[in-house]
Amino acid sequence: MRVLYGTTNAAKLDSMRQAVKGLGLEVIGLKDLGQPIPKVDESGKDPLVNAELKARAYYEAFHLPVFSCDSGLFFEEFEPAEQPGTHVRRVNGRELTDEEMTAYYADLAKQHGGRLTGYYQNAICFVVDENHVFRSMDKSLSTEAFILTDKPHPRKVKGFPMDRLSIDIKTGKYYYDLPDRDVAQSTFEGTRRFLGEVMKK
């Protein structure tokens, strides 16, 4: 089955293709369509609302089965009002570049002794057609907890600026120094389960 993943981020598209291996899904991204991409107002109160806003907008524009994801970043050390939440890349009303994001969050970690303990709360919405919409913000879609450090790893991957600052709690090593493993992979099982259930229905 050919499905549209509502993203223009090539790194996220590659990661999702890994996540859904074996499900019989051909996953394409927004840029693969070669058509104008509608701008979506992602002003929802949580990742699930934003995921649905995007999925419905892309379904209306392209009339293809489409799923969209959204996430919020949370730190154990912060009070609720201080959390980045869904505004991970938007700071003070401005969209940050990859380099700006790395610098901003490295400085944030530095202000807290050089490390923060974070996790991503993820949500997904799949619009098959007008009458079949599936959504989830199950805990299995959240990442494992990780350390956010103030010292960026030298490696850079476009579209994943936060990975330069992410350290695995168990080993104390940057995810970039762990072969075949990153923060996102801890969500693969939950993503596969959700999409597998949608396919059955």
pLDDT at residue 182 above 90?
Answer: no
pLDDT at residue 6 above 90?
Answer: yes
In which band, very low, low, confident or very high, does the pLDDT at 188 lie, cut at 50, 70 and 90?
A: confident
Distance CA 79, CA 108 (A): 14
In which band, very low, low, confident or very high, does the pLDDT at 67 lie, cut at 50, 70 and 90?
A: very high
pTM of the model: 0.82
pLDDT at residue 181 above 80?
Answer: no
pLDDT, residue 44, reads 81
β-bridge pairing 132-136 and 115-129: antiparallel
Beta bridge pairs of residue 125:
68, 135
In which band, very low, low, confident or very high, does the pLDDT at 187 lie, cut at 50, 70 and 90?
A: confident
* Cβ atoms 114, 150 nearer than 8 A: yes
Share of the chain above pLDDT 90, in %: 77
* Cβ atoms 73, 88 nearer than 8 A: yes
pLDDT at residue 126 above 90?
Answer: yes
In which band, very low, low, confident or very high, does the pLDDT at 184 lie, cut at 50, 70 and 90?
A: confident
What phi, psi does 141 have (nearest 5°)?
-90, -10
Distance CA 163, CA 107 (A): 15
In which band, very low, low, confident or very high, does the pLDDT at 123 lie, cut at 50, 70 and 90?
A: very high
Domains annotated on the chain, with CATH: 2-200 (3.90.950.10)
